[in-house]
Amino acid sequence: MVVLNRIYTRTGDNGTTRLATGEAVSKASGRVEAYGAVDETNACVGLARVHTAGDPDFDAMLARIQNELFDLGADLAAPAKADEAAGSVLRILDSQVARLEQEIDLLNDGLPPLQSFILPGGTPAAAALHLARTVARRAERVLVAAAESGESFSGPAMRYLNRLSDFLFVAARHANDRGASEVFWKSGATR
């Protein structure tokens, strides 16, 4: 359990923060940007959950994802090392990616086939899930950019974030009364 007795420490007043390893880095580093965007995604999922209490199984999926997003943040806050002992650092696992895939398939099975692109909106839950999806996609882009600049991340972390945005898209469709309240794009309709 984490115990936080003081919320402010003043240690970040100079624009640095500490990774899980204790290493001081700039708050503008790609790694910090990545786990910050994951935190934003988590907040968006929390907002969506305000509207999903009427569907306890669906809400439970989202609650588990919120916990996994904290795990993902911890994973990203600790640079991956080749000689790292299994279980020595909190990491996202391939089994968590597989569970997301199973839940995508489960939610998608009850939806009508897509006939057009969907505009973010519909029900309040769906709108919030679409917002979470776009933030998750940004988090993924930030993570990829950080990896391309030399940061090391675990493979499951990158896969989880990629799959999460797919889950959130299907979850938004599910939240739109299983497709009934979807708003479709009408190409060139405003010309």
Residue 13 lies in a domain: no
pLDDT in tens, 119-150: 999 999 999 999 999 999 999 999 999 999 99
Residue 10 lies in a domain: no
Residue 34 lies in a domain: yes
Range of the domain at 143: 26-79+90-180
Tens of pLDDT along the chain (191 residues) come to 666 677 777 777 788 878 787 788 778 888 999 999 999 999 999 999 999 988 999 999 999 999 999 999 999 998 877 777 777 788 999 999 999 999 999 999 989 998 889 999 999 999 999 999 999 999 999 999 999 999 989 889 999 999 999 999 999 999 998 767 888 888 898 88
Residue 32 lies in a domain: yes
Residue 153 lies in a domain: yes
- CATH number of 102's domain: 1.20.1200.10
- CB distance 104 to 174 below 8 Å: no
Residue 7 lies in a domain: no
Residue 3 lies in a domain: no
pLDDT in tens, 8-31: 777 777 888 787 877 887 788 889
For the chain, list the strands marked E by DSSP.
16-18, 24-26, 118-119, 183-184
d(C-alpha 53, C-alpha 145), whole Å:
36
Burial group, residue 112, by CB count within 10 angstroms (0-12, 13-18, 19+): exposed
Residue 74 lies in a domain: yes
Number of domains in the chain: 1
pLDDT of residue 120: 93
pTM here is 0.90
Name, in order, each residue with C-beta under 8 angstroms of 120's C-beta and a sequence gap of 6 or more. Answer: 126, 127, 130, 131, 134, 172
The token duo for 14 is 């100079």
